[in-house]
Amino acid sequence: MRRALRQVEAIGSVDVELLERNSTAGLVIERVLANLTDMAFDINCHVSRASSGRTPETFSESCEGAIRSGLIDRELASELMPADGPHHVVMQLCLDTEPEQVEAVVARALSAFQEFERRATEWAGRGDVV
């Protein structure tokens, strides 16, 4: 997860100028955001299984399990999966219709996944977890 975050961070500002100059940048970033969502789902599922014995089937269920285990709070869960859809899907839609919004979508996603990674690292370092 850290490596994927660093890859997107290294790109810098994902503004309209970048998207026009490098037509594949948006597609690559969208794919990395999708991978980050998959990684968060996998981590949440592992934590949920370890703490409750249940394996979530959806991202929302995995976040609920992660909340119950103390990995994340409800606020971070809503940032990981905003009401308007997964970050990578929102970004993909913005690429087609509102490229000026992509920068904000990417910044929000990075912030959420950076915080998730920080909390997951902290949670894994506790002595009472498996």
What are the pLDDT digits (tens) for 13-28? 999 999 999 989 999 9
What amino acid occupies position 88? H
CB 45 within 8 A of CB 56: yes
Q: For residue 75, give both structure tokens.
A: 């606020």
What are the pLDDT digits (tens) for 42-84? 999 999 998 889 899 999 999 999 999 999 999 999 999 999 9
For the entire predicted model, the pTM comes to 0.92
What is the torsion angle, in degrees rounded to the nearest 10, for the CA atoms of residue 34, residue 69, residue 111 and residue 6? Answer: -60
The answer on pLDDT for 108 being more than 60 is yes
Distance between CA atoms of 42 and 66, rounded to whole angstroms? 11
Alpha helix ranges (H) inside 12-73: 16-21, 25-52, 59-69
Distance between CA atoms of 124 and 127, rounded to whole angstroms? 8
CB 67 within 8 A of CB 76: no
